[in-house]
Amino acid sequence: MLRRGLSIALLVTLLDQASKWWIVNDLFRPAGITQTPFFTLKTVTLAPFFDLVMAWNRGVSFGMFNGAEGGRWNAIVFSLFALVVVAALMVWMHRTRSTWTATALGLVAGGAVGNVIDRLRFGAVADFLDFHVGTWHWPAFNLADSAITIGAILLVAESLFRHSDSSKT
């Protein structure tokens, strides 16, 4: 199961970083324009409820603590915490016998690593998926955040619906 989980984590990390590279370096940075990583250039509307935007999250999930003081130290502290969590997930992944658990842990670990790479490169996480209804916007997110969320949902679903092998006497 460890090989399965690590393969999924690697795939998630690669897809996340590829999508962020395209957004940051191609879509939101026209040729010849030098910009800081915290500059929003434009919004690309793809549907009445979905835009691509350039948002930099210096906090944690859904922008919590985004305005917190600490600058580069926040990125380092959040990255170290995420790496400790990833290490714990790897231990869990090594011990599990469940395909679902290994898949879920791979999704969470890969997403966490993708966001750590952003924090170390830019000091913030590149978020670009913006879903909205009218003027109400869900906080912008990225593929790593999606993988973490899906992985967490799979873990909860498996814990709620898996059948125990032990029998009561």
Predicted confidence (pLDDT) per residue in 2-45, tens digit: 999 999 999 999 999 999 999 988 887 765 444 455 545 568 88
Q: Does 142 map to a domain? A: yes
Q: Which residue range is the domain that position 136 belongs to? A: 6-25+39-68+91-160
Q: Does 62 map to a domain? A: yes
Q: Does 34 map to a domain? A: no
**Which pLDDT score is estimated for 169?**
46
Number of domains in the chain: 1
More confident residue, 106 or 66: 106
pLDDT at 61 exceeding the cut of 80: no
Residues belonging to the active site:
127, 145
Q: Does 30 map to a domain? A: no
Q: What's the mean pLDDT in 45-49?
A: 92
In our burial notation (b when 16+ CB lie closer than 10 A, e otherwise), range 129-164 reads bbeeeeeeeebbbbbbbebbebbeebbeeeeeeeee
**Which pLDDT score is estimated for 62?**
54
Least confident of 56-60, 103-107, 141-145: 56-60
Phi/psi at 58 (nearest 5 deg)? -95, -5
Q: What's the mean pLDDT in 121-131?
A: 91
Q: Does 82 map to a domain? A: no
Q: Does 58 map to a domain? A: yes
Angle of helix 143-161 versus helix 99-122 axis, rounded to 10: 150
- Which pTM value belongs to this model? 0.83
**Which pLDDT score is estimated for 139?**
87
Q: Does 96 map to a domain? A: yes
Q: Does 48 map to a domain? A: yes
- The mean pLDDT value of the chain amounts to 85
Chain centre to alpha carbon of residue 120? 14
Predicted confidence (pLDDT) per residue in 146-160, tens digit: 999 999 999 999 989
